[in-house]
Structure 1
Amino acid sequence: MAHIDLFFSTLSPYAYLAGNRAEEVAAKHGATLTYKPFDIMALFSRTGGTPPKDRHISRVEYRAQELVRQAKKLQMPFNLKPAHWPTNGAPSSYAFIAAQNADAGDLGKLMHAICRSVWAEDKDIAEDAVVRGCLEEAGFDPSLADSGLLLGAETYAANLEEAVERGVFGAPFYITDDGQRFWGQDRIEDLDLHLSGAL
């Protein structure tokens, strides 16, 4: 059985635009999927990247155009300048890790709900009430937002180290069990083709 590790940031607009397509690909191929939320801002400095606020204007302008284009292509609501970005992604990541350990709801739906809160609903995912709402929407106990914080912090930090070690430099980032790496929501089709044996 194939396996996919999905490295993502709850702050990433591209993780939002991925929707649940990776989950659909995994289901299509009978693949298991493990989610690994990590600190994207910390990753940039570790892997030669630059945080959005520090990028050259040409990159800033291109990113602005491309995000809007991709959202239109995918027919997804999108706010290029959300009210609460950047914010602290740790609380939502800790809650996600607690939910993954609880194994009771829909993790793909939870990831999308958190990211959608930022990029389409102008909510602050550093706020407990927002995280609780996302957990409930995805079929998890909202109280998970308050549990496993130490384990969440340890796993969040470990996911960052694993990301650096395994060649991750952005989000979302998909790694198959045979070591193939796919960066970005626009590479999910390639992930599908690889699992089909076509790539």
Structure 2
Amino acid sequence: MAHIDYYFGTPSPWVYLAGDRLEQIAARHGATITYKPLDLMQLFDRTGGTRPDQRHPARSEYRAQELRRWSGHLGLPLNLKPAFWPVNPAPSSYAIIAAQAAGGGDLAGLVQSFLRAVWAENENIADDAVIRAKLSAAGFDPALADKGLFVGAETFGRNLEQAIEAGAFGAPFYVVRESGERFWGQDRLDFLDRHLATL
């Protein structure tokens, strides 16, 4: 059985556009997933990337065009100027980490609800009330928003280090443990699908 380490940032539009395709692919191949939210800005800083607000205007303009194109292609609504972006990824990431450790709910649904909140619902995923509502809607105890703070902070930092060690430099980033194959971007999910079929 293959296992996928999934590195991502909760404020990322590209992670949002991945939707639930990773989960569909994993289910098709009997693969398991470990969700590893991290601070994408620090990942960029540590691996030679450029933060979005520091990119050349030509790159920023092209990014906006690509986001619009992919949104239309995938049929996912996307606000190119969300009300709460940039946003602190730590609180939502801590909630995901705590929920993954607790089990019993829809973890993939929780992750996607935070992404949807930023890019389609204009909600602040750093707000405690939003986090609690998302936890509850996904079948988790909303008190995890408080209970998981210490472990969440520790794991959040460790996920960054593990991402760098695994060769990740952006998001979404998928690493298949058994083969070491790496896939960067929601537009590489078809290649991940094909790779899992060979294992």
Question: TM-score if structure 1 supplies the norm length?
Answer: 0.98
SS of equivalent to 1:4? strand
Residue 189 of structure 2 is aligned to residue 188 of structure 1? yes
Instruction: Report the Cα distance in structure 2 between the residues aligned to 1:8 and 1:57, rounded to whole angstroms.
Output: 24
Q: Percent identity?
A: 61
- Structure 1 counterpart of 2:164: 164
Runs of 5+ unmatched residues, structure 1: none
Instruction: Report the Cα distance in structure 1 between the residues aligned to 2:120 and 2:8, rounded to whole angstroms.
Output: 18
Post-superposition CA distance 1:143-179 (Å, at most 9, x none): 1111121100000000001111111011110000210
Q: 1:118 offset after TM fit, Å?
A: 0.3
- Structure 1 counterpart of 2:101: 101
Instruction: Report the Cα distance in structure 1 between the residues aligned to 2:16 and 2:109, rounded to whole angstroms.
Output: 11
Q: How does 1:32-71 map to 2 (within 5 A)?
A: 32-71=32-71
Q: How does 1:16-35 map to 2 (within 5 A)?
A: 16-35=16-35
Runs of 5+ unmatched residues, structure 2: none
Runs ≥4 residues deviating over 3 A: none
Q: 1:132 offset after TM fit, Å?
A: 1.1
CA RMSD of aligned residues (A): 0.9
Instruction: Report the Cα distance in structure 2 between the residues aligned to 1:110 and 1:17, rounded to whole angstroms.
Output: 15
- Structure 2 counterpart of 1:88: 88
Question: TM-score if structure 2 supplies the norm length?
Answer: 0.98
Instruction: Report the Cα distance in structure 2 between the residues aligned to 1:171 and 1:129, rounded to whole angstroms.
Output: 26
Q: 1:49 offset after TM fit, Å?
A: 0.3
SS of equivalent to 1:142? coil
- Structure 2 counterpart of 1:11: 11
Shifted more, 136-145 versus 79-88: the winner is 136-145
Q: 1:87 offset after TM fit, Å?
A: 1.0
Post-superposition CA distance 1:81-131 (Å, at most 9, x none): 100000111000001100000011111111100000000011110101111
**Aligned AA for 2:120?**
A
